[in-house]
Structure 1
Amino acid sequence: MQWNDEGYLLSKNNYSENSVIIEVFTLNHGKCSGIVYGGTSRKIKNYLQLGNKIYVNLKTKNENKLGYFKIEIIDPISPFFFDDNKKINCLFSSLNLLKIVLPELQSYNSIYILFSNFLNELKFSNNWIVHYIFWEMNLLKKIGFDMNLPSNYVEASYNKKKIITVNIDNENINVPSFIVDKKFYNIDTKSIYYALTFIGKFLKKNVLIPNNLNYPISRIKLENYFR
């Protein structure tokens, strides 16, 4: 079996002295893994920065065996954020979530496009963290965990924090109003933190704990930046 595709590098691990195993989220083939010969060489190693967009050519004898990738760089994304700890942790958090929640070799074109759009906001938008929050919510919705916040609305408290109470799984929970109103601008730091922790708890309860998965360290670091 052989195919070509584009995708984002989710993870990499040493395989041998000269090779690495990479995991890529591709446009047409979903999440897949393969071996890159020469992956430890200086040239290819520079391509294999987490989050980079790469062109991949996969060859494998069958779908049940690990194949071999040939790669080319399309867009070196991660170097944009090397000097920004918040953004690089945000990038790593998004990559870890995709790695955790997506099954192998199932196409998710809409999630791929959603992620591509988010990366553009991460690069160029001043309110990138708000876009990240809505990206997480949309990702959860697309894999079957829609919070239905507007329909679960209970009451609002229009104080300085603008807190709204929603009912999820028969539990009343206070959340910042901007994630219900889908507001992108003039969001204070505390509201960002409350939104991140709320979504984090939802993710842990509905996805991570039932599947015995660990909470991504990069996601914890991201929350702490806004504490």
Structure 2
Amino acid sequence: MDWQDQGFVLAARRHGESDAILTVLTREHGRHLGIVKGGTGRRQRAVVEVGNAVMAHWHARLSEHLGRFQVELGTPHAALCMADPARLAALSAACATLDAALPEREPHEDVFDDFAALVEQLSRKAVDWPTQYVRWEARLLSSLGFGLDLSQCAVTGEREGLAYVSPKTGRAVTVEAGKLHKDRLLPLPSFLIQGHVKPSRDELVAGLRLTGYFLDRHVFAHAIKPGATEARARLIERLAAK
């Protein structure tokens, strides 16, 4: 069993004295694990930083084995984000979210390409990267089969005046239709339905809380790895403080 693919490091944990078990999101082979010999050593440590783009070579005697990775550094996204704690928190949160959400060894080329675009936004210090991050989470929910329906009101069918999202159905609700139950509904930031709107800090946090509610409900509640919720909480804290 032997293949080579481009990928992004989602997680790395120590294995033994100097090795690491690496989780890589690859374009053609999905989220894949493997052992990196010397992965926690000085030479390899900078390569396996979470968020880095790598060329991964995986090989094993049998397909069901954990196997071994040999990785070559492509773009050091972790280092490029290091000077900005908020961008680094976003990179870590996105990687942790994918690590928790995606099944092992199941290709999702659309998710890979969308994540690659997000990482480029973070690395290039794009001014609107927080907006792009929230929209990325919304698209990820759709790719996983839990997409939000923000096109029209679930009650009236109207497309104007959308202000809430039903926590049960993930569908939008207008101000008028939701006024009697607004305490039970989730706020809908306007930038998620109007592409030209520049969100405020509070709206960005509201957007993350909205996508986070459905990630918690549909993805993280069933995930084996608990780190994604904490990583997203750190991102929200950073954005709220900006």
State whether TM-score is above 0.5: yes
Find out whether 1:208 has 2:220 as its counterpart.
yes
Find out whether 1:47 has 2:60 as its counterpart.
no
- Residue 163 of structure 2 is matched in structure 1 by 164
Where structure 2 has 5 or more consecutive residues not aligned to the other structure, the ranges are 170-183
Indicate conservation of the 8 Å contact 2:6/2:56, yes or no: yes
Indicate conservation of the 8 Å contact 1:153/1:165, yes or no: no
Distance 1:166 1:19, change over 3 A: closer
Where structure 1 has 5 or more consecutive residues not aligned to the other structure, the ranges are none
- Residue 131 of structure 1 is matched in structure 2 by 132
- CA offset digits 1:169-226 (Å, max 9, x no partner): 356432111112234x521111111111111112112222255764521200111223
Secondary structure of residue in 2 paired with 1:47: coil
- CA offset digits 1:117-169 (Å, max 9, x no partner): 111111221010000000000011001011011234667998xxxx7123453
Distance 1:39 1:210, change over 3 A: closer
Indicate conservation of the 8 Å contact 2:100/2:224, yes or no: no
Find out whether 1:77 has 2:90 as its counterpart.
no
- Residue 181 of structure 2 is matched in structure 1 by none
- CA offset digits 1:8-62 (Å, max 9, x no partner): 0011111122311100000110001001112233221121111111111111122
Indicate conservation of the 8 Å contact 1:166/1:173, yes or no: yes
Tell me, in whole angstroms, the C-alpha distance in 2 between the residues paired with 1:70 and 1:6. 12
Indicate conservation of the 8 Å contact 2:100/2:219, yes or no: no
Secondary structure of residue in 2 paired with 1:48: coil
Q: Which amino acid aligns with 1:221?
A: R
Distance 1:21 1:7, change over 3 A: same
Q: Which amino acid aligns with 1:196?
A: L
Indicate conservation of the 8 Å contact 2:191/2:198, yes or no: no
Identity of aligned residues (%): 25
Matches within 5 A, 1:135-150: 135-150=136-151
**Bigger shift: residues 215-224 or 140-149:** 215-224
Indicate conservation of the 8 Å contact 1:147/1:168, yes or no: no
Secondary structure of residue in 1 paired with 2:92: helix
- Residue 104 of structure 1 is matched in structure 2 by 104
Tell me, in whole angstroms, the C-alpha distance in 1 between the residues paired with 2:87 and 2:146. 26
Secondary structure of residue in 1 paired with 2:152: coil
- Residue 66 of structure 1 is matched in structure 2 by 66
RMSD of aligned C-alpha atoms?
2.1
Distance 1:58 1:176, change over 3 A: same
Tell me, in whole angstroms, the C-alpha distance in 2 between the residues paired with 1:174 and 1:39. 44
Distance 1:156 1:29, change over 3 A: closer
- Residue 5 of structure 1 is matched in structure 2 by 5
Secondary structure of residue in 1 paired with 2:146: coil
- Residue 198 of structure 1 is matched in structure 2 by 210
Deviation of 1:64 (Å): 1.6
- When the two structures are aligned, how many residues end up with a matched partner? 222
Distance 1:180 1:153, change over 3 A: farther
TM-score of the pair, normalised by structure 1? 0.90
Indicate conservation of the 8 Å contact 2:81/2:122, yes or no: no
- Residue 28 of structure 1 is matched in structure 2 by 28
Tell me, in whole angstroms, the C-alpha distance in 2 between the residues paired with 1:156 and 1:106. 36
Indicate conservation of the 8 Å contact 1:86/1:225, yes or no: yes
Distance 1:60 1:152, change over 3 A: farther
Q: Which amino acid aligns with 1:45?
A: R
